[in-house]
Amino acid sequence: MSIFELFSRNKEERSANVAKERLQVIVAHERRARNAPSYLPAMQNEILAVIRKYVEIDNDQLQVDLNDDGNCSVLEVNVNLPK
């Protein structure tokens, strides 16, 4: 790292770290989606429509995951409502 870079560094996080964090989230999500039943996207869409009857939310404020922990599956629905 040169003295020129020293000053511009650290203000913004190193982009490789950002890349790794984004990848961990994307990959974990896609691995779950891969094993999920095919009705999940449609169901997610309907849940979104129901919520939107009452509050306006963005696609990424709803998280629907099906987690398999051995003897039963857990459907996890997370909704982030705007303040």
Partner 1 sequence: MATIIVVTSGKGGVGKTTTSAAVSMGLAQAGHKTVVIDFDIGLRNLDIIMNCERRVVFDFVNVIQGDASLNQALIKDKRCDKLFILPASQTRDKDALTKDGVQQVLNQLKQDFEFIICDSPAGIEHGAQMALYFADKAIVVTNPEVSSVRDSDRILGILQSKSYRAENNMPPVDEHLLITRFDPARVIKGEMLSIADIEDILAVKLLGVIPESQAVLNASNNGTPVILDEKSDAGQAYQDTVARLLGDDRPHRFTEAQKKGFLQRVFGG
- If you ran DSSP here, which 8-state letter would residue 6 be given? H
Tallying the residues shown for the chain, one arrives at 83
C-beta of 22: minimal distance to partner 1 in Å? 6
String marking each residue 12-51 x if it binds partner 1 according to CB under 8 A: --xxxx-xx-xxx-xx--xx--x-----------------
Count of Cβ atoms closer than 10 Å to residue 61 Cβ: 15
Distance between CA atoms of 15 and 11, rounded to whole angstroms? 12
User: How many residues bind partner 1, per CB under 8 A?
Assistant: 19
Residues making contact with partner 1 (CB under 8 A): 1-5, 14-17, 19-20, 22-24, 26-27, 30-31, 34
